[in-house]
Amino acid sequence: MDPAPIDKSATIFVAGHRGLVGSAVVRKLKSLGYTNLLLRTHAELDLTSQSSVDAFFAAHKPQYVILAAAKVGGIHANNTYPADFITINLQIQTNVISSAFKHNTRKLLFLGSSCIYPKFAPQPIPESALLTGPLEPTNEWYAIAKISGIKMCQAFRIQHSFDAVSAMPTNLYGPNDNFHPENSHVLPALLRRFHEAKVNNVEKVVVWGSGMPLREFLHVDDLADAVVFLLENYSDMEHVNVGSGKEVTIKELAVLVKEVVGYKGEIVWDSSKPDGTPRKLMDSSKLAGLGWEPKISLKDGLTDTYKWYLENVVAQQ
State the catalytic residue, choosing from 64, 117, 142, 263: 142
Q: Which fold has domain 12-175+217-243+280-295?
A: Rossmann fold (3.40.50)
> Dihedral angle at the C-alpha atoms of 30, 31, 32, 34, nearest 10 degrees?
10
User: 250: closest CA among 205, 198, 201?
Assistant: 205
Write down the pLDDT at residue 274.
84
Domain boundaries, the chain: 12-175+217-243+280-295
* Ordered mean pLDDT values, 10 residues apiece, the chain (317 residues): 78 96 97 97 97 98 97 80 96 98 98 92 96 92 97 98 97 91 82 96 94 95 98 97 96 97 97 83 97 97 97 90
CB contact at 8 A, 188 and 308: no
Write down the pLDDT at residue 144.
97
Concerning whether 142 is annotated as a catalytic residue, the answer is yes
Write down the pLDDT at residue 25.
98
What's the Cα-to-Cα distance from 154 to each of 55, 71, 143, 222, 283, rounded to whole Å?
Answer: 24, 22, 17, 25, 21
List CB contacts of 50: < 8 A, sequence separation 6 or more. 91, 94, 95
Report the relative pairing of strands 164-169 and 240-242 from DSSP bridges: parallel
User: What pTM did the predictor assign?
Assistant: 0.92
